[in-house]
Structures are given as C-alpha cells and as structure tokens.
Chain A
Amino acid sequence: MLRAAKAGVSIAAACSVSYWIYDSTAPRLSQKEGEPMTLPDFSIPGLGPKMSIVVGPDRVRTVNRALKAIGGIESFVKRGDRILLKVNAAFATPPMLSATTNPQLLAEVVRLCLKAGASSVVVTDNPINDPTSCFALTGIAEAAASAGARVLMPDERFFRPTTVSGGTLIREWPLLHGPFKGTNKLIGIAPVKDHHRSGASMSMKNWYGLLGGRRNLLHQDIHNTIKELAMMVTPTLVILDGTTTMMTNGPTGGSLGDLKGTNTMIVSTDQVAADAFGATLLGKPLSQLTYISKAASLGLGTADYGSLKPVRESAG
C-alpha cells in the first residue's frame, strides 16, 4: 500500500513536471544578447560649438591653455560629476611611439577633472592587442592610477548590444557599456594618426574602441562606420593630441621615423571640426577622409572648422 502510494507520487511528479515544461515548438535560433541600449547625449546643453588650437611642445601646458581658451574645465566639469575618459590604448607599445593616448596628457586631464570637483574619473578602452599589456605598456594604467582615476578593463560582462538610431551598420552591436554606468560626462582623448584604410585615426575613430564583438568586419565600410560612431557618441569634449603626429605606417607606427613633431593641441566640443583640423596636421585633404564629410552632412558637426572661430594660441 505504501509502495503504491510512493509509486503514485513519483508518477504524478513526473507527469506534472513534464506538463509544466512541455514545449510543442522547436527553439528559435538565438543570437540575442539582451535589450539594445543607446548612449545619452553627453554635451553641455546650450553651450554651442567651441574649439581651441594651442601650439606648443609641452602637452600639460597646451592642454591647460586650450581648455582655458574655451571657458576652462569648470564649464564642462561640475562638482560631483562622474567622468569617463575614453583613451586610445589600442596597441601594446610604449608612449614614445605615439600610437596611443599620451600618459602625461591623460594624467593632467584626470587631475583637472578632479580639481574641478569631479567625484570620480574612469579611464577605459577596448584595445586591439592584449588589454592588460596595452594598459600597462602604454603607461596609461599607471598615469591614470597615479592621478586618481580608475581604469576599467574591457571585461566580457561590460558589453551590451547597442543600436545607433538611423544607423545601418552598428545595429545590436556589442558596446563597452559597463564603464558608462553612472557617468554623466564623456571626454575623448586621442592622438592624431595615419590610418591606411580610413585615411586618419583621430577623435571620431577613437570611439571604435567602445565596440566589441566582430568589429573587424566594420572595416568593409569604414567611412560609414566612423560616421555612425559619431552618431552613436555625443561627447562633452574631445581632446585631439597633435603634439606628435604619426605620419606613416599607421595606426600602429612602431618607429620614431613614422612620427613628426607638430606641436598642436586641439580641444573641441565638435568632434567633426576637431578631426577636420587634425587632417591638416597629417597633410591630408578632406576628400580623402570621406567620413568627415559624411558626418558633417548629417549635422554632427562642421567640417569647416574655421567657421567655429577657434581660439588660436601659443604656449611655448
């Protein structure tokens, strides 16, 4: 009798579990990685486009002067702001080779942000070479840490899909989203570099390092990709470092012979204008950098940087 009861319970359990999890349809092919999200607009409302170009060999002095010329860091960074600095840490090369964001410049920007009252500064990138090696060898990790910023490595858990509204390429694409948590200001810091496929790697191309997944596929349509990156990201500010320009063999460089001292620091709220000026340091006509005119035609900025009446100074 007891055995019959046990058997009955077992059968009932098996049947009810089967009924509960029964699925009459075959599973669909799953490629989903969560709900797509978009990045907010990080620009300062009502400020309008501003740009400054400061000539000089010392990055710390030029960036200070350039920021001061467009109203000082205080007009961009308010007390309690949480800042994300997107650097270019793509390659595991020493800072001397200028393939990556200069650590001294980074440390100075971190310092200025903290001085302006920022409650936290985070530095991030999804490099091409091994991430740990990149952040270590470029001097970025040490510079950031010593200046009081936190470095966030591209942990797999930090990626979430994004879709650029109006875009055709960056759709449900993995975005390095983790470091953006709680952030309300975004500053891009990139060097001026030759880039064989797109012509030049500067402020707009720098956002490529926010993408994950199979991003190398995007090279098949590089100009529209960079345009969509500019659609995806509206930064508070971009700092384009033309102190040393990589004229050849970009974007990796690898030799001092690929570099040229151009002694220019560009700070702008308009990334298109900054890149349009950066092209002149490389000596490339805008017609070779199709992505600039593509971005300009969408109203993401102006390719005619002169129209912003950039403040030109010398710190030297």
Chain B
Amino acid sequence: MRIQTVRRISQVFFAVLFFWFCIVSTLGEKWWQLRGWPVNWLLQLDPLIALGTMLTTRVLYAGLVWALVTLVLTILLGRYFCGWVCPFGSLHHLVGFLGRRRKPHPERVAVNQYRRGQSIKYYLLIFILTAAAGSSIAYLVSVSQGWPMIVWIAAIAGLIIIAVFAIMKLIANPRKAVAVLLMVVGVWIGLSLLLPVDRMVVASLQIGLLDPIALLYRSVNLVLLPVVDAGVHGLSATQRYYEGAWLIGTIFLAAVFLNLRIPRFYCRFFCPLGALLGVLGRFALWRIGKAREECSNCELCDADCEGACQPSGRIRISECVLCVNCLSSCRDGLVGYRTLPSASGEVTSPDVSRRGFLIALVWGAAAIPVLRLSGRVGPNWNPVVLRPPGALAEEDFLARCLRCGQCMRICPTNIIQPAGLEGGPEAFWTPILNFRVGTSGCQVNCIACGQICPSAAIRPMSLDEKLGRNEHAATGPIRLGTAFVDRGRCLPWAMDRPCIVCQENCPTSPKAIFTREEFSTVRSGILPVKEATNLTVEFEGSPLQPGRVATGDYYCAIGAGTDEHRRRIVDNTSNTITIAPSWPWEKPPAPRSFVHIQVRLQLPFVDPKLCTGCGICEHECPVRVKRAIRVTPENESRAKERSLILQSAGRNR
C-alpha cells in the first residue's frame, strides 16, 4: 500500500470520528447519543489548547494531557497532525485537491509555492500566546519578589545549558544566546524590582478564535448541524438557534472556499496550531528531504505539495505537513522521509523577523490589559452577560474558555449562545445565556454543560452541588442571576390582567416567585345601581360586555370595597351581574348607590433568597417581545461583586 493511501485512510478516519463525535453530542441514552463517547478527544489532542490553558492557568487540566501524545510525536516526526489527523486540515486538503485537479502543471506549481505570508500564522501564534501568558509572567515575577535567589538560579542554569549546547555545536552563535539570556534576566529583575507587575498584567485565552479544532467544532455544532437537522429533527426535537451563527458560518465557508485559490489556505497562513507544530517539529528526527541535490527539476513534487514547503529546493521543515505527496511523485525516487537533512539543504526555522516577533509580542502583551480598560469584566458589567451554571469567576472563565461551542451544542434547551460583543471583544463567542430562544430556561436537573466542557471553564459539578443539596446544603444552590419583574410590562402589575405564568413555572420549592393579592377597580368600573336583590344587581344603561366579568376573577364591592362587602361575580349580562350564591348580600346595594367592579389580581414578587436565575419564568412570560420578568446576573454565585442581598448570619441559604 502506498504511504499516501495510508495517510488518506488516517485522514478519513479522524474526519469521520470528528463528525461522529459532533453527532453523538446529543443528550440521551441511545448508543448514538452522549453516553461516554469521548467527544472532546480531538480538542484534547490539540497541543495549542493545552499550552494556552497552561499559560493562563499554570495547570494541565485532565484530558488535555492527551496533547502530550501529539507533542511527543511532533517532536519526533514533524507536523504529522496537520497532514494526517486534523479534520479541518483534511477538509482543506480535499477542497484544495478538487480545486487544482484540472489545472496545468505550471499553475499547480505556482499555487503551491512558498509565500512570505505564510509567516502570518507565527505572528498570530506569538500574539495569542503572549496574550495568554500574562498571568504566568506575573506569577514568575511575584515568585522572584518572594525569593530573589530563583532569578540567579535560572540565570546560572541558562548559562550551563548554553555552554553545553555550544560545546555540542547545537547553537551557532553562543554569544548571542548569552546576550538574550542576560536581557531576559535583566528584564525579569527590573520588573520585579520596579513594578507591581502582577497588578498590571492580565491574561485571557484567545486561542479558540483561530484554533482549527475549536473552530471546526464551533462551525459544525452551531451552523452545519442545525441547518441539516432542521429538516430531519433527528438530533433535536425542535429547531436549534444560535445567535451570530451567520458569522461563524461565513468564516467557515470562506476558509473552505479559499482553498480553491490557494490549497490549504487556512493551514498555511492562519493556523496557529500549525505554527506551533511547525516550531515543535523543527528538530524532528525524521524529515522529508532529497537524497541528492541534482535532479531533473521537474517540480512534480512541488506541484502537489500541501504545505508549500518546496521539497524540490531548500525544504522548509516548519511548513511541511507530511502530506507525503512528494514521496510518490518523484519519478527518480529521490525524495524520502529520512533521518538525514535534505541534500538540497533545509530551512528549519520559521520565517519570522525579529521586528515582527517583537511587534506581535508587544501587541499580545498589551491586548488584554487594554481590552480590560473598558471595564466589561469589572464595574461596567453588561447585564445581558449571564454565564452557564458552574462557570468560573469571570477572569478564570476567560482564562479557560475555548469557544469550541460544546456547551452550546449539548444544552438541551438551547439557551447557551455564543456571545457577540456583549462581554466585550475579549469574550467573543464565549457562552452566554439567552432565555428567550430555546425551549425553556436552565433545566433544574441538568448539568450537561459543565460535564462536557473540555477545559473546565464551566466546572463539572454534581447535581447536588447545583441544587445545593446534601453536603452542599450550606452553600445553597448555584445561582445564575436573579429575576426582576418589570412592573411597567407585567400584565397584572400594569394592565389589570390576571396572569402569574411566571409564578406557576418557578421550579424552586418554595417558589422564589410569590404573589400578593390585590383587588383593583377596573377602568370605568364604578357603576350606578338601578335595582338590586341579594344575589343580583341591575345597573343603569348597559355598561358591561356580557360574560366579560364572569370569568371567576371579577368581584363587586359596595363603596370603596372592603372584604366584608366584596362578592365574587359568577355571571353578567350587559346591565346585570350575579354574585356567587354561597354568600348573598344581607343588605343589597341601594338604588343610585355605586358598585365597584374589581378584578382580583395576584401580583408577582421575586424572593432573591430563593431565586436561582434559571430563567424559566423569563422564557414562559407571555409578554413576548421584551419579557416582563427578566434575569440579570445580580446575585450570581460565581461573583461576589454582583451579590445583591445581605446574608445574615445563622441562615443556611
């Protein structure tokens, strides 16, 4: 079997696996639903995600340790992940292949030429890693403030390493290396002595915007599946909606169609994971190369080169995605995958200029502190930014969220939505809750989002913890926010109409929404009596619509209406009312006196001690366009700064 065939089988396998994981991310117990399928596995294999979260959190979370497999293999073999595993890469590979299939040889060579723009991905990588590194840098500085010796230990260790490398001739210019080391140590000491860096430097994980695996999960879960499933309803009983799906879909389609212009466009120019693997793979033990410098210069190897790494000349190792097309296209059998460097020479380092490197570094370091100046993570909190149950405190959340959309895919009620700019650009496409779309609010007995989250930005918690039961009774339930009644829109509050759908649907026990009874005299409801008996009253003229006040919610009262004078109306014509026979008037209202027609209203109130902000009330509120009861992140469990009510001591809630 040709090695290309093996590669194709591998690509198809991982692509099918990926789509299968997207499909089975469906709540349920059937074999094709989420019951232990490792649906995050491809995200976990991604070393960029592991490295990024390591920089922001200084830990390697659970399944992300799988990235070590990719890391080790890449160091040994090169960018095999891009050419053999990455499902996004395989998609580009396929479309690019279809695009250049009928093109003449010179044109194929031309589209697969190395372009300077291919270094863009390295700058992007530097940018997002620096943006993520803030907290680690602050940590290092703070450590050296507490224990200054560490700086000297690190400096001496660095010198020893440089010396060893220099002796082994692994470094071309040891003097330069020492200079860089001295500069780093100098900056380190300077920062720790002069500035409270830990208060200046903040970090967040922006990797998910461009990481190919996160991007593909997001695109398939939030755009492709909902569109396809709209006709079938195999995955979801109702239509799924995702705010801003148009942008996710546009970017996805653009990335796919750009392959018709230049094959593997995304991989070559933008993919930060490809950049990272390119850097890691520069010392690969095995690499593509020519056995002899002179060849027929037919450029057949260049014509099908996926990475645009120029195997015919000085091969660019960091661009090579190990598509192995060149191996079989060389008619002289000169190209091989071997331990020796190419006879035509190779370029191992990425094409990154010092100036460009520094620019990306400064942009990355400055980006998050500058974004934070808008105050969106602090005092300028946007009231529509509600996070899923179990989400970490905002800064920790932003340090982990991959924007992969897994929580949005799994949420049974479809309330988890990709954010637009609600939380500022920093929180773009992170999950926020929208109780107007979807099929309900946050379901009381559901913890799916935290269980699926690959990076624990939404903590995997137990149902007991969410509901504040058993050992979590002391902390109480997880609160997403608090519901507020908009008295200007609420039917009983503003329009004399009975309703209380919100109270009925409130799932807590006792209900967080409670009602107070009020009898309100209806508009034009003070009517002059013509004649009355113990059970009926006849009015002057015909002021009533027949049956209108006989719904069981209307009462009539003599004078201003106190309880002992109020009777329930059971029937009415245009000019008479009949009251409930169980409680007749002892003394009927006198002719020419006035009777008040009153409606019994149950006015909803929210008890902030009991409200968990699940949003079921907001979802069910019959005031449809802008709900009359709405949840805002007041009092949410994860943020003390948004607490609302004073917790008195001695209460267990």
Chain A residues at the B interface, C-beta cutoff of 8 Å: 91-94, 128-133, 136-137, 153-156, 168, 195-197, 214, 216-217, 219-224, 248-255, 257-258, 287, 290-291, 293-294
Say whether B505 faces chain A, with CB atoms less than 8 Å apart: yes
* A128 and B509 in contact, given A197-B498, A219-B622, A290-B552 (Cβ under 8 angstroms): no
Instruction: Flag if B439 contacts A130 (CB, 8 Å).
Output: yes
Instruction: Flag if A133 contacts B238 (CB, 8 Å).
Output: no
CA–CA, A255 and B552, complex, Å: 30
Residue of A nearest to B551 (CB): A221
Given contacts A92-B443, A129-B440, A224-B551, 12 further A-B contacts (CB under 8 A): A92-B444, A131-B237, A132-B27, A133-B27, A136-B29, A221-B498, A249-B511, A252-B506, A253-B509, A254-B509, A257-B509, A287-B580
Interface centre among B438, B491, B510, B552 (most CB of A within 10 A): B552
Interface centre among A137, A197, A255 (most CB of B within 10 A): A197
Say whether B412 faces chain A, with CB atoms less than 8 Å apart: yes
Residue of B nearest to A289 (CB): B552
The 28 listed contacts between A and B (C-beta, < 8 Å) are: A93-B444, A128-B440, A128-B620, A129-B440, A129-B443, A129-B616, A130-B412, A131-B238, A131-B439, A133-B413, A136-B29, A153-B237, A155-B233, A168-B547, A196-B504, A197-B498, A214-B624, A216-B621, A219-B501, A219-B622, A222-B498, A249-B510, A252-B506, A252-B507, A254-B508, A254-B511, A255-B510, A287-B582
Say whether B503 faces chain A, with CB atoms less than 8 Å apart: yes
Say whether B497 faces chain A, with CB atoms less than 8 Å apart: yes
Say whether B239 faces chain A, with CB atoms less than 8 Å apart: yes
Of B413, B507, B510, the contact of A91 (CB 8 Å cutoff)? B507
How far does the Cβ of B320 sit from chain A's closest Cβ, in whole Å? Answer: 47
How far does the Cβ of A127 sit from chain B's closest Cβ, in whole Å? Answer: 9
Which residues in A have their C-beta under 8 angstroms from that of B440? 92, 128-130, 133
Of B27, B443, B507, B602, the contact of A196 (CB 8 Å cutoff)? B602
Which residues in A have their C-beta under 8 angstroms from that of B38? none
How far does the Cβ of B106 sit from chain A's closest Cβ, in whole Å? Answer: 39
Which residues in A have their C-beta under 8 angstroms from that of B582? 287
Instruction: Flag if B28 contacts A132 (CB, 8 Å).
Output: yes
Say whether B534 faces chain A, with CB atoms less than 8 Å apart: no
Say whether B500 faces chain A, with CB atoms less than 8 Å apart: yes
Say whether B499 faces chain A, with CB atoms less than 8 Å apart: yes
Interface code B408-427, partner A: CB below 8 Å = 1, 0 otherwise?
A: 00001100000000000000
How far does the Cβ of A150 sit from chain B's closest Cβ, in whole Å? Answer: 15
Residue of A nearest to B29 (CB): A136
Residue of A nearest to B498 (CB): A220
Which residues in A have their C-beta under 8 angstroms from that of B580? 287
Instruction: Flag if A220 contacts B499 (CB, 8 Å).
Output: yes
Q: Which 4 A/B pairs are nearest by Cβ-Cβ distance?
A: A254-B509, A290-B552, A255-B509, A216-B622
Instruction: Flag if B500 contacts A196 (CB, 8 Å).
Output: yes
Say whether B446 faces chain A, with CB atoms less than 8 Å apart: yes
CA–CA, A97 and B440, complex, Å: 19
CA–CA, A252 and B620, complex, Å: 14
* A291 and B499 in contact, given A128-B620, A197-B504 (Cβ under 8 angstroms): no
CA–CA, A93 and B467, complex, Å: 13
How far does the Cβ of B505 sit from chain A's closest Cβ, in whole Å? Answer: 6
Residue of A nearest to B622 (CB): A216
CA–CA, A195 and B440, complex, Å: 20
Interface code B564-585, partner A: CB below 8 Å = 1, 0 otherwise?
A: 0000101000000000101000
Instruction: Flag if A137 contacts B509 (CB, 8 Å).
Output: no
How far does the Cβ of A248 sit from chain B's closest Cβ, in whole Å? Answer: 8
Interface residues of B in 235-259 (CB under 8 A from A): 236-239
Say whether B515 faces chain A, with CB atoms less than 8 Å apart: yes
How far does the Cβ of B422 sit from chain A's closest Cβ, in whole Å? Answer: 24
Say whether B297 faces chain A, with CB atoms less than 8 Å apart: no
Which residues in A have their C-beta under 8 angstroms from that of B568? 287
Say whether B445 faces chain A, with CB atoms less than 8 Å apart: yes
Instruction: Flag if B500 contacts A155 (CB, 8 Å).
Output: no
CA–CA, A256 and B641, complex, Å: 34
Instruction: Flag if A252 contacts B446 (CB, 8 Å).
Output: no
Which residues in A have their C-beta under 8 angstroms from that of B508? 254
How far does the Cβ of A97 sit from chain B's closest Cβ, in whole Å? Answer: 9
Which residues in A have their C-beta under 8 angstroms from that of B238? 131, 156
CA–CA, A27 and B510, complex, Å: 51
Of A91, A168, A258, A291, the contact of B552 (CB 8 Å cutoff)? A291
Chain B residues at the A interface, C-beta cutoff of 8 Å: 27-29, 233, 236-239, 412-413, 438-440, 443-446, 491, 497-501, 503-511, 515, 547, 551-553, 568, 570, 580, 582, 602, 616, 620-622, 624
Instruction: Flag if B444 contacts A196 (CB, 8 Å).
Output: no
Which residues in A have their C-beta under 8 angstroms from that of B239? 156
Residue of A nearest to B499 (CB): A219
Residue of B nearest to A248 (CB): B510
CA–CA, A124 and B239, complex, Å: 19
CA–CA, A291 and B570, complex, Å: 11
Of B28, B233, B511, B602, the contact of A197 (CB 8 Å cutoff)? B602
Which residues in A have their C-beta under 8 angstroms from that of B504? 195-197, 219, 250-252
* A132 and B622 in contact, given A92-B445, A220-B491 (Cβ under 8 angstroms): no
Interface centre among A130, A216, A258 (most CB of B within 10 A): A130
Instruction: Flag if A133 contacts B412 (CB, 8 Å).
Output: yes
CA–CA, A91 and B620, complex, Å: 13
How far does the Cβ of B120 sit from chain A's closest Cβ, in whole Å? Answer: 44
CA–CA, A195 and B505, complex, Å: 10
Which residues in B have their C-beta under 8 angstroms from that of A155? 233, 237
Which residues in B have their C-beta under 8 angstroms from that of A258? 509
CA–CA, A97 and B238, complex, Å: 26
Which residues in A have their C-beta under 8 angstroms from that of B511? 249, 252, 254
CA–CA, A133 and B26, complex, Å: 12
Instruction: Flag if B621 contacts A130 (CB, 8 Å).
Output: no
Instruction: Flag if A216 contacts B552 (CB, 8 Å).
Output: no
How far does the Cβ of A139 sit from chain B's closest Cβ, in whole Å? Answer: 12
How far does the Cβ of A274 sit from chain B's closest Cβ, in whole Å? Answer: 20
CA–CA, A291 and B238, complex, Å: 33
Which residues in A have their C-beta under 8 angstroms from that of B233? 155
Residue of B nearest to A131 (CB): B237
How far does the Cβ of B29 sit from chain A's closest Cβ, in whole Å? Answer: 8
How far does the Cβ of A209 sit from chain B's closest Cβ, in whole Å? Answer: 14
Residue of A nearest to B497 (CB): A220
How far does the Cβ of B127 sit from chain A's closest Cβ, in whole Å? Answer: 40
Instruction: Flag if A154 contacts B622 (CB, 8 Å).
Output: no
CA–CA, A154 and B439, complex, Å: 12
Residue of A nearest to B507 (CB): A252
Which residues in A have their C-beta under 8 angstroms from that of B491? 220
Interface centre among B237, B446, B506 (most CB of A within 10 A): B237
Which residues in A have their C-beta under 8 angstroms from that of B624? 214
Residue of B nearest to A99 (CB): B507
CA–CA, A216 and B506, complex, Å: 14
Which residues in B have their C-beta under 8 angstroms from that of A254? 444, 507-509, 511
Instruction: Flag if A196 contacts B503 (CB, 8 Å).
Output: yes
Of A93, A153, A196, A287, the contact of B515 (CB 8 Å cutoff)? A196
Which residues in B have their C-beta under 8 angstroms from that of A214? 622, 624
Of A132, A216, A222, A251, the contact of B620 (CB 8 Å cutoff)? A216
How far does the Cβ of A202 sit from chain B's closest Cβ, in whole Å? Answer: 15
Which residues in B have their C-beta under 8 angstroms from that of A92? 440, 443-446
Which residues in B have their C-beta under 8 angstroms from that of A133? 27, 412-413, 440, 443, 445-446
Instruction: Flag if A252 contacts B237 (CB, 8 Å).
Output: no
Instruction: Flag if B445 contacts A137 (CB, 8 Å).
Output: yes
CA–CA, A251 and B620, complex, Å: 14
Residue of B nearest to A291 (CB): B552
* A93 and B413 in contact, given A249-B510, A254-B509 (Cβ under 8 angstroms): no
CA–CA, A130 and B503, complex, Å: 18
How far does the Cβ of A78 sit from chain B's closest Cβ, in whole Å? Answer: 32
CA–CA, A233 and B553, complex, Å: 24
Which residues in A have their C-beta under 8 angstroms from that of B445? 92-94, 133, 137
Which residues in A have their C-beta under 8 angstroms from that of B500? 196-197, 219
Which residues in B have their C-beta under 8 angstroms from that of A293? 570
Instruction: Flag if B27 contacts A249 (CB, 8 Å).
Output: no
CA–CA, A197 and B501, complex, Å: 8
